[in-house]
A = this chain, B = another copy of it.
Amino acid sequence: MILTVTLNAALDVTYRVDRLRPRAGNRVRATAARAGGKGVNVARVLHALGHRTVVTGLAGGPTGAAVRRDLAAAGLTDELVPIAGESRRTVAVVDEEADDTTILLEGGPHVSAAEWTAFLDRYEQLVPHASVVVLSGSLPGGLPVDGYAELIRRARAHRVPAVLDADGEALRAALGEGPALVKPNADELAAASGSSDPYAGAEALRAAGARAVVASLGPDGMIAVTPHGSWRAAPPAALAGNPTGAGDAAVAALAAGLVAQTPWPVRLTEAVALSAAAVAAPLAGDFDPALHRRLLPQVTVEPLRTREGESPCR
């Protein structure tokens, strides 16, 4: 099974309004809520692709209970560890007239040292059964900044590879433990590496310990810098839609490829097609399966050829 870790699980709420009027009262026409957080989105995509997945992480309070009810409804195996604090909500306000979305992101709960220890115990029970662990998203307050480093170290002790989708200090502090793959977006990569060139940035993260780096570049696709070579993969055209969850779909594809040990160009093709098919779906964690199938043969993958001292990226 694939173990996804969501330490800051969320209830993703969607409000539809006719027109979002700032500085006024806005009647919400329709409300939807479902379990979220990047790791949950990854699990949802993997589950839809037919992979056995287990969701762990931290959830608490009435909002955490709503997250867990929704995981059960979606048929996802729930191994979340309870905490005393209230899990966060995200609120996406969809302006139907303007066809755009404004997102409000709560900060999330504070986690105690005892709760973190309880999580590590659960993680130790789950990791030996995993073919890969996926660590996604922000760390809630109270967790050590090297929390992901600790989880990668423990996975490695069981010879289980780890995929990390995090940013900032949580990402930097984890590189030294040798994650099998990190997947920053362009901004996160630049922040973590100090380089605005994605290839140079990816090489810097590899030098710091990551075995492979896949950087998502939005509509431009992805670049991968790996022990087996470097590639750029791109969709046939930029797709309009909801970019939230596109990165999570890419992570799902890359984790599945890691399990199957498919060649990198195949993994990247899957990641780009699934990511684009996720952009076309209104909710994070969903993707358009017909579009996914249609896009697969249209994704282009080309090796990045580097000349001495020169980046293959613009």
Interface residues of A (CB under 8 A from B): 15, 17, 20-29, 31, 62-63, 65-66, 91, 93, 95, 98, 100-107
Contact A105 B26 (CB under 8 A): yes
Contact A27 B62 (CB under 8 A): no
Contact A22 B104 (CB under 8 A): no
Counting every copy of the chain, the complex holds: 2
User: A100 touches which one: B22, B66, B91, B103 (CB < 8 A)?
Assistant: B22
Contact B25 A105 (CB under 8 A): yes
Residues of B within 8 A of A100 (CB): 22-23
Evaluate whether A102 and B26 lie within 8 angstroms (CB atoms) in the complex, with A62-B65, A62-B66 already known. Answer: yes
Contact A104 B23 (CB under 8 A): no
- Counting from the closest, the 7 A-B pairs by CB-CB distance are A62-B62, A25-B103, A23-B100, A22-B102, A28-B106, A26-B104, A27-B105
Contact A102 B15 (CB under 8 A): no
With A26-B102, A31-B107, A91-B91 given, name 19 new contacts (CB 8 A): A15-B104, A20-B22, A21-B102, A22-B22, A22-B95, A23-B100, A23-B101, A23-B102, A24-B102, A24-B103, A27-B105, A28-B104, A28-B106, A28-B107, A29-B107, A31-B106, A62-B63, A62-B65, A91-B104
User: A105 touches which one: B23, B28, B63, B105 (CB < 8 A)?
Assistant: B28
Residues of B within 8 A of A107 (CB): 27-29, 31
Residues of B within 8 A of A66 (CB): 62
Q: How far is the CA of A103 from the CA of B100 in the complex (A)?
A: 18
Residues of B within 8 A of A95 (CB): 22
Q: How far is the CA of A24 from the CA of B21 in the complex (A)?
A: 15
